[in-house]
């Protein structure tokens, strides 16, 4: 199998060079058959790499330890999920994964655009093929994941690092890769546009959606990385400005800049050179980030280790990339001349420009600081580093300035804002900012950083609310529907603009969470059972230190009671886990109590089992969950922006009045139904860890009975981490301790919950299944119903329009005044679309 | 050169200049020397009081600590030179005998005083995301 894998990589390399040559030659000679052949080869690369990927996944699943890579990152004990995640757990595999993703993305992009952008597509395919060749070259010559042991192969694997055996960690790298790889597509279109000289707005239209998708993946990937660090590493923060983290942030900044400046080009025909350069820079930074973290150029806690040869190859590729791309830009400068000039500083273009400069500056500042040790060593021979304080010092004002522009930008008109215009637009936002900044400052929040941040958050929120209210009320007046319908109608009319506001709202929430950063408190103390630690408003009482084990690890757990105002709030269990075979690499298991106002974060920092002594670090992280919440809002906003054109057209329908309100109500009921279930899970402390069963009987029952909290998706009681499961396990322990038999215990639970639902495998299987399915079925049916109605309404609107057209376009409804208003609204709504 | 271009040029120069000056100053303030133990301990006098990131390996069985207070004392070695280090706080999971560590702090005649959260452990195997002790 390993040989097959190696062969596939080589074959893919050859195919990629064939695709490149055929596409380029075909496009230049205008020979369509050649281009078609090249594109065919381009799809063959995808097929080959998908097979190569399945070969390595197969090797992981069956545990083929003759392959070095598999041996190093997997073992038999690992759950299937982490066996699969091991694919991208190391350098070689992650490169193959990268190449595969790129091939898939490339094929999709080329396929979708094959007719619409007929002239661009061959160049797009050729560009992607070149990038592909680079990665395949690395894989074939230097970093072959299919390398086998030459002599006797070990029979067991070393296993994935325990720290990486975490849900977030398993899905965070693929998301980041999706973001990185996705940025290749806009780059390829940019190069194609430069090569063909078709530098009008067509290529921008083709890449807008791709950039947004890649940006979305990047955003979520970064957030998950932060969440992982926060929950798994136990140092209480989520971002440490490590080179690896920064590598993901750099293209995010330039990508964000591009998403904004695109609008200026679409609307005003300005910034053409800028846009094409941003696309190139973003792609370059994804490659540079990979180079930085994988070649050992920069010292990092989680770099892949030093690899001079890889560094050389990357350097050569990057130099070529820069020379060719910017060479093309310079060659095409005459075609990139701006159609307009900046009219005024108080215009939306100017705000976008400022936002772009700041974003670009942040990217290069972070790049500079990350590379600083290497640069200083090269220049002075002295290795100097800058650390977190440097980043925080610089990024705080930069972040606040960006937040400020988020609030200001939408308030300014294109071209030039009049004084009158400025006054009406800015009155409420500025007022809100002053009130909130002043108010929080008066309450003792430090002004710099936190209070200003709160003020700006208030300002941006007011801006967004004002935009929605004004837009919706104008729409309500002209279309005569209710407020909800008008609101959704706004999205239908100008999806990108209002979806953008939702993304901005997410940003505001994230900053709100950042502001809590300055208000955190922590306390650490060594305790014996009975002693307590005080961190107002909480008191943490140390009860016991227990040693338990399960099939894969030994667990040292501190049992703590958390009291608030003298009343017991909950019990929390921070722990350290020692995985078998990796005893000297314990993992810290943080105990977390989440809340809107902040988290209580407990870490077992050190312990002594014999003395029953534990050192606990307790920490309050205010507002931190708003960050994750904000990212969620950003995802929703981006999702709306990515919806196909017609998706919201039903809201623009006029026929069934208040239709949208009904639809929304329906959706709301459905979603609240499930949200209530979810919410329960959030309230229960996720911290309780699973105590190992003390007898075989207990272990057996843990596998037969399921958790009854109703939110865990019917997990086995022995696997679930929620509080209900913990209580049930205690019950089981008590029953076995009383000498009850298996049948008696099961009987007890069936009686207690009144049905066999509590059993993992119920006796009357079919019917019970159906009963559990019921709520889900109702939810799904509601969704389908809503979608079907929406679809019908939107169809009817089309028919109406056709009828209206047949009658000569006479509409009875709107008065001339309303028409005038609507024309104005339309004009305003077209702003960004 | 027309008026508009010159105005733009001047503002770019002013903003760019200010940023550069600020950047240079804060780099000087916040930067630390990144040194291996032997580089520093060959001539320790020159390094007293300077902000340092010290790269080395924890000497086997040199870690002693007071659990109640999280006070750690240990020896770090690189090449043929060693230095004793003291630290109070939480150490990362990877901190153990023989671990490759980077310590942030200051050198004093009594040994290396590690700043709070200044212990970072480097993981020996590749692509191991390693935890930090502080920020």
B127 lies in a domain?
A: no
Would the pLDDT of A410 be above 50? yes
Contacts of B18 in chain A (CB under 8 A): none
What is the three-class DSSP state of B38? helix
A674 lies in a domain?
A: no
Better pLDDT: A238 or A722: A238
Sheet holding A521-527: strands in order across?
Answer: A521-527, A613-622, A598-608, A591-593
Whether chain A has a CB inside 8 Å of the CB on B12: the answer is: no
DSSP A413-430: PSS---HHHHHHHHHHHH
Look at residue A35 in the predicted model and tell me its pLDDT: 93
A457 lies in a domain?
A: yes
Contacts of A608 in chain B (CB under 8 A): 67
Both tokens assigned to A247: 């590598």
Residue A572's contacts (CB-CB under 8 Å, 6 or more residues apart) are A540, A560, A561, A562, A591, A593, A600, A602, A685, A687, A688
Look at residue A282 in the predicted model and tell me its pLDDT: 95
Contacts of B132 in chain A (CB under 8 A): 233, 235, 240, 242, 301
- Pairing verdict, β B111-122 and B81-88: parallel
Mean pLDDT calculated for residue range A698-708:
74
Distance between CA atoms of A213 and A631, rounded to whole angstroms?
15
pLDDT tens-digit series, residues A475-531: 888 877 777 778 888 888 888 889 999 999 999 999 999 888 878 888 888 888 888
Q: Do A496 and A631 belong together in one domain?
A: yes
Distance between CA atoms of A28 and A25, rounded to whole angstroms?
5
B23 lies in a domain?
A: yes
Q: Tell me which residue in B4, B30, B133 faces A386 most closely, judged by beta carbons.
A: B30
Both tokens assigned to A602: 């407990």
Cross-strand pairs, B56: B101
Question: Are A302 and B128 within 8 A, CB to CB?
Answer: yes
Q: Do B101 and B65 belong together in one domain?
A: yes
Nearest CA in chain B to A229: B131
Q: Do B21 and B87 belong together in one domain?
A: no
Q: What is the pTM of this model?
A: 0.78
Q: Do A586 and A634 belong together in one domain?
A: no
Which of the four pLDDT bands, split at 50, 70 and 90, describes residue A12?
very high
Q: Do B63 and B18 belong together in one domain?
A: no
Question: pLDDT averaged over chain A?
Answer: 81
Which of the four pLDDT bands, split at 50, 70 and 90, describes residue A833?
very low
Distance between CA atoms of A320 and B71, rounded to whole angstroms?
52
Nearest CA in chain A to B35: A383
Look at residue B126 in the predicted model and tell me its pLDDT: 37
CA distance to partner chain B, nearest, from residue A430 (Å): 26
Element (H, E) at A385: strand A384-386
B55 lies in a domain?
A: yes
By residue count, chain B amounts to: 135
Distance between CA atoms of A631 and A622, rounded to whole angstroms?
17
Mean pLDDT calculated for residue range A60-67:
88
CA distance to partner chain A, nearest, from residue B127 (Å): 5
Q: Do A151 and A177 belong together in one domain?
A: no
Residue A509 contacts residue A627 (beta carbons within 8 Å): yes
Question: Are B30 and A389 within 8 A, CB to CB?
Answer: yes
C-alpha gyration radius of chain A: 30
Whether chain A has a CB inside 8 Å of the CB on B53: the answer is: yes
What is the three-class DSSP state of A183? coil
pLDDT tens-digit series, residues A433-468: 999 889 888 888 787 778 889 999 999 999 999 999
Contacts of A372 in chain B (CB under 8 A): 27, 31
Q: Do B85 and B108 belong together in one domain?
A: yes
Distance between CA atoms of A420 and A415, rounded to whole angstroms?
15
Whether chain A has a CB inside 8 Å of the CB on B96: the answer is: yes
Q: Do A527 and A599 belong together in one domain?
A: yes
Would the pLDDT of A653 be above 70? no
Question: Are B34 and A240 within 8 A, CB to CB?
Answer: no
Would the pLDDT of A161 be above 50? yes
Q: Tell me which residue in A304, A387, A526 faces B32 most closely, judged by beta carbons.
A: A387
Look at residue A795 in the predicted model and tell me its pLDDT: 58
Residue A5's contacts (CB-CB under 8 Å, 6 or more residues apart) are A52, A55, A56, A59, A145, A146
Exposed/middle/buried for B83, CB within 10 Å: 0-12, 13-18, 19+?
A: buried
Whether chain A has a CB inside 8 Å of the CB on B60: the answer is: no
A152 lies in a domain?
A: yes
Q: Do A157 and A172 belong together in one domain?
A: no
Whether chain A has a CB inside 8 Å of the CB on B40: the answer is: no
Q: Do B74 and B117 belong together in one domain?
A: yes
By residue count, chain A amounts to: 833
Q: Do A596 and A740 belong together in one domain?
A: no
Mean pLDDT calculated for residue range A690-715:
66
Beta carbons within 10 angstroms of residue A671's beta carbon: 14
Preferred mutation among A248, A364, A606, A616 to probe B, highest tally of B CBs within 10 A: A606
Contacts of B89 in chain A (CB under 8 A): 524
B129 lies in a domain?
A: no
Q: Tell me which residue in A163, A235, A299 faces B128 most closely, judged by beta carbons.
A: A163
Q: Do B54 and B109 belong together in one domain?
A: yes
Residue A615 contacts residue B68 (beta carbons within 8 Å): yes
Which of the four pLDDT bands, split at 50, 70 and 90, describes residue A745?
confident
Distance between CA atoms of A438 and A18, rounded to whole angstroms?
65
Domain termination site, one of A161, A181, A199: A161
Domain termination site, one of A642, A661, A680: A661
A396 lies in a domain?
A: yes
Preferred mutation among B15, B50, B128 to probe A, highest tally of A CBs within 10 A: B128
A259 lies in a domain?
A: yes
Which of the four pLDDT bands, split at 50, 70 and 90, describes residue A255?
very high
Look at residue A370 in the predicted model and tell me its pLDDT: 87
Nearest CA in chain A to B65: A606
Q: Do A220 and A247 belong together in one domain?
A: yes
Q: Do A504 and A404 belong together in one domain?
A: no
Would the pLDDT of A394 be above 90? no
Cα–Cα distance list, A813 to A479, A519, A809, A810 (Å) = 9, 57, 12, 9
Would the pLDDT of A751 be above 80? no
Preferred mutation among A384, A576, A590 to probe B, highest tally of B CBs within 10 A: A384
What is the three-class DSSP state of A326? helix
Domain that holds residue B13: 1-31
CA distance to partner chain A, nearest, from residue B70 (Å): 8
Q: Do B93 and B48 belong together in one domain?
A: yes
Contacts of A302 in chain B (CB under 8 A): 123, 127-130
Q: Do A405 and A416 belong together in one domain?
A: no
Which of the four pLDDT bands, split at 50, 70 and 90, describes residue A260?
very high
Q: Do B115 and B63 belong together in one domain?
A: yes
Q: Do B27 and B46 belong together in one domain?
A: no
- Pairing verdict, β A587-589 and A553-564: unpaired
Preferred mutation among B126, B132, B133, B134 to probe A, highest tally of A CBs within 10 A: B126
Q: Do B50 and B8 belong together in one domain?
A: no
- Ranking A79-83, A475-479, A788-792 by mean pLDDT, the lowest is A788-792
Q: Do A231 and A249 belong together in one domain?
A: yes
Both tokens assigned to A669: 């009921």
**Before A537, cis peptide (omega within 30)?**
yes
Which of the four pLDDT bands, split at 50, 70 and 90, describes residue A683?
very low
Q: Do A497 and A359 belong together in one domain?
A: no
CATH of the domain at B77: 2.40.50.140
Q: Do A198 and A299 belong together in one domain?
A: yes
Q: Do B5 and B65 belong together in one domain?
A: no
Evaluated on CA atoms A39, A43, A46, A48, the torsion sign reads: negative
Residue A672 contacts residue A578 (beta carbons within 8 Å): no
- Ranking A724-733, A777-786, B106-115 by mean pLDDT, the lowest is A777-786
Q: Do B19 and B58 belong together in one domain?
A: no
Tally of domains in chain B: 2
B134 lies in a domain?
A: no
Spatial CA neighbour of A792 closest among A657, A689, A670, A649: A649
B109 lies in a domain?
A: yes
Question: pLDDT averaged over chain B?
Answer: 79
Domain that holds residue A187: 166-411
Tally of domains in chain A: 5
Question: Are A390 and B35 within 8 A, CB to CB?
Answer: no
Whether chain B has a CB inside 8 Å of the CB on A522: the answer is: no
Distance between CA atoms of A135 and A52, rounded to whole angstroms?
14
A·B CB contacts under 8 A: 125
Spatial CA neighbour of B83 closest among B50, B119, B120, B39: B39
Q: What percent of chain A has pLDDT over 90?
A: 30
- Ranking A666-680, A735-749, A784-798, B65-79 by mean pLDDT, the lowest is A666-680
Which of the four pLDDT bands, split at 50, 70 and 90, describes residue A613?
confident
Distance between CA atoms of B59 and A370, rounded to whole angstroms?
30
B132 lies in a domain?
A: no
Distance between CA atoms of A599 and A520, rounded to whole angstroms?
10
Element (H, E) at A819: helix A816-829
Q: Tell me which residue in A368, A382, A387 faces B30 most closely, judged by beta carbons.
A: A387
Question: Are B135 and A304 within 8 A, CB to CB?
Answer: no
CATH of the domain at A22: 1.20.120
Question: Are A299 and B120 within 8 A, CB to CB?
Answer: no
Residue A635 contacts residue A220 (beta carbons within 8 Å): yes
Look at residue A689 in the predicted model and tell me its pLDDT: 43
- Pairing verdict, β A553-564 and A538-549: antiparallel
Whether chain B has a CB inside 8 Å of the CB on A384: the answer is: yes
DSSP A540-557: EEEEEEEEEE-SSEEEEE
Whether chain B has a CB inside 8 Å of the CB on A340: the answer is: no
- Long-range contacts (CB closer than 8 Å, 24 or more residues apart) made by A392-395: A393/B26, A393/B30, A394/A365, A394/A369, A394/B26, A395/A362, A395/A365, A395/A366
B131 lies in a domain?
A: no
Distance between CA atoms of A729 and B95, rounded to whole angstroms?
34
DSSP A740-796: --HHHHHHHHHHHHTSGGGBSS-SSHHHHHHHHHHHHHHHHHHHHHHHHHHHHHHHH
CATH of the domain at A618: 2.60.98
Contacts of A587 in chain B (CB under 8 A): 93
Whether chain B has a CB inside 8 Å of the CB on A372: the answer is: yes
Domain termination site, one of A161, A194, A225: A161
Whether chain A has a CB inside 8 Å of the CB on B26: the answer is: yes
Look at residue B129 in the predicted model and tell me its pLDDT: 38
- Ranking A393-407, A441-455, A672-686, A764-778 by mean pLDDT, the lowest is A672-686
Question: Are A383 and B35 within 8 A, CB to CB?
Answer: yes
CA distance to partner chain B, nearest, from residue A635 (Å): 26
Nearest CA in chain B to A374: B34
What is the three-class DSSP state of B129? coil
Distance between CA atoms of B37 and B21, rounded to whole angstroms?
33
């Amino acid at each position: 199998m390993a040989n097959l894998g190696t062969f596939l990589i080589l074959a893919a390399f050859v195919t990629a060079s064939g695709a490149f040559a055929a596409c380029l030659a075909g496009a230049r000679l205008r020979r369509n058959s050649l281009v078609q052949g090249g594109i065919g080869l381009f799809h063959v690369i995808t097929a080959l790499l998908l097979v190569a990927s399945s070969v390595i996944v197969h090797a992981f699943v069956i545990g083929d330890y003759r392959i070095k890579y598999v041996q190093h990152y997997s073992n038999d004990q690992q759950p299937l999920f982490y066996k699969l995640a091991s694919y991208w757990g190391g350098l070689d595999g992650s490169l193959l994964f990268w190449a595969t993703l790129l091939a898939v993305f490339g094929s999709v992009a080329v396929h979708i655009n094959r007719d619409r952008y007929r002239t661009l597509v061959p160049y797009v395919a050729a560009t992607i093929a070149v990038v592909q060749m680079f990665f395949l070259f690395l894989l074939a010559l230097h970093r072959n994941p299919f390398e086998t042991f030459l002599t006797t192969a070990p029979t067991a694997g070393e296993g994935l690092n325990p720290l990486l055996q975490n849900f977030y960690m398993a899905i965070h790298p693929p998301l980041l890769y999706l973001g990185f790889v996705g940025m290749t597509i806009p780059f390829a279109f940019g190069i194609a546009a430069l090569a063909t000289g078709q530098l009008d707005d067509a290529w921008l239209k083709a890449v807008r959606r791709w950039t947004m998708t890649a940006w979305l993946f990047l955003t979520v990937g970064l957030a998950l990385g932060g969440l992982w660090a926060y929950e798994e590493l136990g140092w209480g923060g989520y971002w440490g400005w490590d080179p690896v983290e920064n590598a993901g942030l750099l293209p995010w900044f330039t990508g964000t800049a591009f998403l904004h400046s695109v609008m200026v080009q679409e609307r005003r025909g300005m910034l053409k050179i800028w846009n094409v350069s941003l696309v190139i820079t973003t792609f370059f930074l994804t490659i540079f980030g990979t180079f930085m973290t994988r070649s050992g150029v920069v010292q990092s806690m989680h770099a892949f280790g030093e690899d001079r040869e890889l560094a050389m190859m990357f350097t050569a590729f990057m130099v070529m990339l820069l020379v060719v791309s910017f060479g093309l830009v310079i060659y095409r400068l005459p075609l990139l001349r701006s159609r307009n000039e900046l009219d005024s500083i108080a215009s939306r273009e100017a705000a976008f420009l400022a936002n772009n400069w700041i974003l670009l500056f942040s990217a290069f500042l972070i790049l500079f600081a990350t590379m600083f040790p290497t640069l200083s060593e090269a220049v002075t021979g002295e290795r100097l580093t800058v650390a977190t304080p440097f980043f925080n010092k610089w990024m705080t004002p930069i972040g606040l300035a960006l937040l400020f522009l988020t609030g200001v930008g939408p308030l300014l008109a294109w071209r030039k804002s009049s004084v009158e215009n400025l006054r009406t637009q800015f009155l409420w936002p500025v007022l809100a900012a002053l009130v909130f900044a002043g108010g929080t400052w008066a309450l003792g929040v430090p002004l710099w950083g936190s209070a200003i941040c709160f003020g700006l958050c208030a300002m941006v929120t007011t801006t967004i609310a004002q935009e929605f209210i004004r837009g919706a009320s104008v729409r309500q007046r002209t279309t005569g529907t209710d407020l909800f319908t008008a609101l959704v109608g706004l999205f239908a009319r100008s999806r990108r603009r209002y979806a953008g506001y939702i993304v901005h709202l997410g940003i505001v929430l994230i900053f709100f969470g950042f502001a809590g950063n300055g208000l955190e408190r922590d306390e650490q103390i060594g305790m014996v059972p009975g002693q307590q630690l005080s961190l107002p408003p909480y008191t943490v009482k140390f009860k016991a230190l227990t040693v338990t084990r399960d099939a894969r690890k030994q667990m040292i757990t501190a049992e703590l009671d958390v009291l608030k105002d003298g009343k017991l709030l909950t019990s929390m269990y921070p722990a350290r886990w020692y995985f078998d075979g990796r005893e000297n690499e314990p993992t810290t298991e943080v105990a977390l109590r989440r809340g809107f106002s902040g988290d209580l974060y407990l870490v077992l920092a050190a312990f002594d089992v014999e003395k029953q002594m534990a050192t606990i670090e307790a920490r309050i992280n205010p507002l931190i969950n708003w960050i994750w919440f904000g990212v969620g809002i950003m995802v929703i906003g981006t999702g709306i922006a990515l919806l196909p054109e017609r998706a919201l057209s039903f809201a623009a329908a006029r026929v069934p009045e208040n239709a949208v309100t009904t639809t929304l109500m329906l959706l709301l009921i459905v979603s609240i139904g499930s949200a209530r279930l979810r919410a329960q899970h959030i309230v229960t402390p996720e911290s309780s860890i699973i105590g190992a069963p003390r007898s075989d009987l207990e272990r057996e029952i843990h596998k037969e009975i399921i958790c009854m909290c109703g939110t865990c998706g019917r997990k086995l009681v022995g696997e679930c981490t929620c509080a209900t499961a913990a209580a049930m396990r205690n019950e089981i322990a008590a029953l076995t301790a009383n000498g009850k038999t298996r049948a008696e215990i099961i009987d007890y639970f069936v009686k207690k919950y009144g049905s066999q639902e509590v059993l993992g495998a119920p006796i009357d299987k079919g019917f019970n299944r159906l009963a559990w399915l019921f709520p889900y079925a109702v939810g799904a049916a509601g969704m389908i119903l809503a979608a079907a109605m929406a679809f019908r309404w939107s169809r009817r609107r089309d028919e109406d329009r056709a009828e209206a057209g047949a009658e000569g376009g006479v509409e009875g409804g709107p008065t001339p005044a309303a028409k005038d208003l609507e024309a104005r609204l339309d004009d305003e709504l077209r702003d960004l679309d | 050169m027309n008026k508009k271009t010159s105005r733009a040029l001047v503002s770019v120069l002013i903003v760019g200049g200010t940023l550069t000056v600020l950047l240079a100053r804060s780099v000087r303030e916040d930067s630390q020397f990144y040194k291996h133990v032997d580089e520093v301990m060959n001539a320790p006098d020159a390094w007293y009081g300077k902000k340092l990131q010290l790269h080395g390996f924890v000497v086997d069985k040199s870690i002693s600590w007071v659990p109640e207070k999280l006070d750690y004392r240990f020896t770090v070695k690189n090449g043929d030179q060693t230095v004793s280090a003291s630290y109070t706080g939480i150490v990362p999971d990877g901190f153990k005998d023989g671990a490759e560590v980077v310590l942030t702090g200051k050198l004093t005649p009594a040994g290396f005083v590690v700043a709070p959260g200044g212990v970072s452990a480097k993981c020996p195997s590749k692509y191991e995301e390693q935890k930090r002790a502080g920020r």
